[in-house]
Structure 1
């Protein structure tokens, strides 16, 4: 095998691994947000909170729900892709065999790299919004504690 072939194979594997890492991070963030929402609900459901705490905390909760949507879009399957499984699902056995005789990994690397950038962009936005939501929820907690004193 040539060095070029090895480089293409390594780049293809690296891009696929980056997408897998992004999906794993997204899953962990979704679990974290679920835990935060459950914790907030547990603490706040029976408490008599000042209006300011409700407004600020509500804004934090809404922001976390927006983050959930953003994260779900980050891991949404791309069934309209030109390469790989979705394409194969619409081809006959002969077409699949013929397609596998041609090395399409360079095109796959380009397409998967674009997909990885979109996923990372959404993940970064989600993390930024999580930080903002945490500030709002912390402020709501401080307001609630200050209102109770």
Structure 2
């Protein structure tokens, strides 16, 4: 196997692994956001809350909901639209067409396509983390205002 072959194989595996790592992190954060939202609802539904607590907590909840939306769109399957890569495309081909397709080395194009997908997923995850942090901080502030009776 030539150096180019080895490098293509390594890059292909690396970019696919990066997508998997990003999806795993996204799944964990989505579970966390869901748990925080459920906990917030459980605590707030029967409590008598002041207007400042409702406003601050409502904004925090809205940010967490926005984070959940970003996370869901980040893990939403993307079958490639008009130019699918890998298995989605194979579903439209005959056995002979698949054999012909696999006879050619498309790894460089796959690496480019998968890298773009990974960057989009990572950017969505990064934004969702920022929203989760801001929403969580606002929920903590709402709790402090409620307990301390401030405002």
Please tell me whether residue 127 in structure 1 is matched to residue 129 in structure 2.
yes
Distance 2:90 2:30 in 1: 31
Matching of residue 59 in structure 1 with residue 55 in structure 2: no
Q: How far is 1:85 from its partner?
A: 1.0
Deviations 1:13-57 (A, max 9, x none): 000000000000000001001110111112112111111101110
Q: 1:1-149 alignment to 2 at 5 Å?
A: 1-79=1-79, 80=81, 81-147=83-149
For residues 104-140 of structure 1, give each alpha carbon's deviation from its aligned partner in whole angstroms, at most 9, with x where no partner exists: 0000000000110000010000001111101110111
Name which of structure 1's ranges 61-70 and 17-26 shifts more when overlaid on structure 2.
61-70
Runs of 4+ aligned residues of structure 1 deviating over 6 Å after TM superposition are none
What's the TM-score once normalised by structure 1's chain length? 0.96
Distance 1:20 1:53 in 2: 39
- The alignment covers a number of residue pairs equal to 148
Shift of 1:82: 2.9
Please report how far the alpha carbon of residue 92 of structure 1 lies from its aligned counterpart in structure 2 after TM superposition.
1.2
1:4 is displaced (CA, Å) by 1.2
| Alpha-carbon separation, structure 1, partners of 2:106 and 2:84 | 11
Note the residue ranges of structure 2 that are not aligned, 5 or more in a row. none
Deviates more, 1:137-146 or 1:15-24: 137-146
Q: Distance in 2 between matches of 1:45 and 1:68?
A: 21
Q: TM-score, normalised by structure 2?
A: 0.94
The alignment's C-alpha RMSD in Å is: 1.1
